[in-house]
Amino acid sequence: MRRPVIAGNWKMHMTCAQAREFMAAFLPQLEQTPNDREIVLAPPFTAISTMAEQAKGSCVSLASQNVHWEPSGAFTAEISPAMLKEHGVAYTIVGHSEPRKYFSESDEQINLRARSAQDNGLIPIVCVGESDEQRERGEAERVIRRQIEQGLENLDPGSLVVAYEPIWAIGTGKTCASEEANRICGLIRSWVGAPDLVIQYGGSVKPGNIDELMGMSDIDGVLVGGASLDPDSFARIANYKSV
Ligand code: PGA
């Protein structure tokens, strides 16, 4: 049985004060949420300890937006697994298309981050996905397969989440058709060869499309950017009813 993971990626949004306000409005809306799903939020580093306090006793788990492969050292701007674990962080997002694009993160670095996460008891959420041009050139499957082969090398699929996020659907309002997202998630599962691997879809997930996405056979959750910043809309997503 694959337990769906509904994760919100706050990116570079939310001060501690805003995070507290969000949680005050969000948590009461989870009182009836079935526990067949995992609810995760990835705040910026500065809000992690505030969020850990707020989330205590709730069904919300925390994720970080990065993790380094060394336990400590001269790595300005990076964060170690132990620093995250100290605050009860359970997941970490690696390989998101934004650091791939803006900081030229390679599949090799992504793999190092994901392995360091697993070695230290964090569950990596490894993001993969093709650009608009790659899709138009018919290269989507080849690109994703390479990201999977290199990014997931030597990882334990039992303690891993993969997020299929077509870049052209991120922050654009253009969701990938659910059947196509489902097809790619199915391909990823077969390439990894792990029937129990949890695979999310991400890219313009909203209250209006969550139920349909979660009704798909190979989609085991979502990674949500914009719509996770509003407590009502993320609560609706967390409380999805698959159709
Ligand atoms: P979006 O972002 O939901 O705003 O499209 C998704 C993501 O970047 O993970």
Find out whether the beta carbon of 203 lies less than 6 Å from any atom of ligand 1. Answer: yes
Torsions phi, psi for 134 (to 5 deg): -65, -40
Q: Which atom of ligand 1 is nearest to the CA of 228?
A: 3
Q: Which atom of ligand 1 is nearest to the CA of 169?
A: 5
d(CA 118, CA 134): 30
Pick 6 or 242 by higher pLDDT: 6
> For position 1, what pLDDT does the model report?
82
d(CA 187, CA 141): 9
d(CA 113, CA 38): 22
| 230 alpha carbon – ligand 1 mean position (Å) | 13
Q: Which atom of ligand 1 is nearest to the CA of 173?
A: 5
| 9 alpha carbon – ligand 1 mean position (Å) | 7
Torsions phi, psi for 9 (to 5 deg): -105, 110
The single residue listed with the structure tokens 């599949």 is 107
pLDDT tens column, 83-118? 999 999 999 999 999 999 999 999 999 999 999 999
Q: What is the average pLDDT across 219-239?
A: 98
pLDDT-derived band at 173 (thresholds 50, 70, 90) equals confident
pLDDT tens column, 59-91? 999 999 999 999 999 999 999 999 999 999 999
User: Does the pLDDT of residue 128 top 90, yes or no?
Assistant: yes
Find out whether the beta carbon of 171 lies less than 6 Å from any atom of ligand 1. Answer: yes
Residue with the smallest CA separation from ligand 1 atom 6 is: 225
Q: Give the lowest-confidence range in 108-117, 165-174, 209-218.
A: 165-174
| 115 alpha carbon – ligand 1 mean position (Å) | 24
- The angle that helices 107-119 and 140-151 make with each other, rounded to 10 degrees, is 40
> For position 132, what pLDDT does the model report?
95
User: Does the pLDDT of residue 185 top 90, yes or no?
Assistant: yes
d(CA 12, CA 210): 23
d(CA 235, CA 2): 21
Sign of the dihedral defined by the CA atoms of residues 125, 227, 240, 89, in that order: positive
Chain length of the chain: 243
User: Does the pLDDT of residue 243 top 90, yes or no?
Assistant: no
* Nearest one of 159, 208, 214 to 181, comparing CA atoms: 214
| 205 alpha carbon – ligand 1 mean position (Å) | 7
**Could you give the residue numbers annotated as active site?**
96, 165
* Nearest one of 186, 192, 185, 122 to 152, comparing CA atoms: 192
Residue with the smallest CA separation from ligand 1 atom 7 is: 225
The structure's pTM equals 0.97
User: Contact 52/88 with Cβ under 8 angstroms?
Assistant: yes
At residue 108's C-alpha, the angle toward residues 187 and 141, to 5°, is 25
